[in-house]
Amino acid sequence: MARDYYEILGVDRHASEKDIRSAYRRLARKLHPDVNPGDKAAEARFKEVNAAYDVLSDPEKRRKYDRYGENWEHADEIERMQAQRGRGGFYNFGGAAGSPFRTYTFSGDPADLFGDGGDIFSGLFGGRRGRPRPRNLNVEHPVQVTLEEAYSGTTRVLQMAPSENGGQPRRLEVKIPAGVQTGSRVRIAGEGLQDGDRRGDLYLVVDVAPDPRFERKGDDLYTDVDVPLTTAVLGGEVMVQAVGKRVAMKVPPMTQNGRTIRLSGLGMPRLGSDAKGDLYVRVRVRLPDRLNERERKLFEELKELGV
């Protein structure tokens, strides 16, 4: 069974948004792949933490999760059918954790779920015997990707359920292009529901998991970098983490704390284009946490000079 999202983040079910955000940031910093190179267990936990935070940080998703647990993604479908049936039954969509197949449980009249034809899809989308067939044959399927996957593009393998006329389950490999962002829809033609010779399309609805290192605004990325006091005053270079690589950034002399430096072309790819956004680096001047005797004397001399 899927692990409880509250358990994954180490918070209780009544945790505030601030507590959830703090727990996520602490775990994300600890488990990030850059901190644990080659550690598959840490990578798996990092993805698990991202998935939990994505749901619990969104008030509407959290409401659905609190009510339906691991089946929260089907809450609208469940509530719609409950309203139509008027029996107060509970539909359980989802099956085992990570399984692409759906299992169904229902408290109430089984005929309401299976329909007159005894076909589980009849109960969901309209029966075969005199009930209207669906007009909209398109299907949406949520898919979450990391920021790195959104940057370079990736693939997902979906296990497609059998069709209504007794077809076999099959695997479908789909490509997610570089540059997608939360809310992007990737169309896979002809992979939706079927009604006779009509077939709808499958739409992947993308959710890009939060990344503790970057803030994304459209195609631009924002990050922070610590700069030693001497480098901020005299100028120099510091290393900055971009997506998938580290780059050297020039720091002009007398750079003030909080200044933003733009690194052109190091942001996210623009969907459907070869162009890229920019990376904006916010400078955090790092003061020394201790001074030796000579350093203290030098600062005292600077103080006497009025610097």
Q: Which residue has the tokens 């890009």?
A: 208
What are the residue ranges spanned by the domains of the chain? Answer: 134-211, 215-304
Distance between CA 73 and CA 76 in Å, rounded?
8
Amino acid letter for position 177? P
The dihedrals phi and psi of 206, each to the nearest 5 degrees, come to -85, 140
**Would 134-211 and 215-304 be classified into the same CATH topology?**
yes
Closest CA to 160 of 149, 171, 150: 171
CATH 3.30.420.40 is right for the domain spanning 215-304:
no
The answer to pTM > 0.85 is no
Structure tokens at 136: 């909209």
Q: Tell me the per-residue pLDDT of 192-204, one tens digit each, with 9 for 90 and over.
A: 888 888 888 899 9
Summary mean pLDDT of the chain: 80
Q: Tell me the per-residue pLDDT of 217-249, one tens digit each, with 9 for 90 and over.
A: 999 999 999 999 999 999 999 999 999 999 999
134-211 topology per CATH = HSP40/DNAj peptide-binding domain (2.60.260)
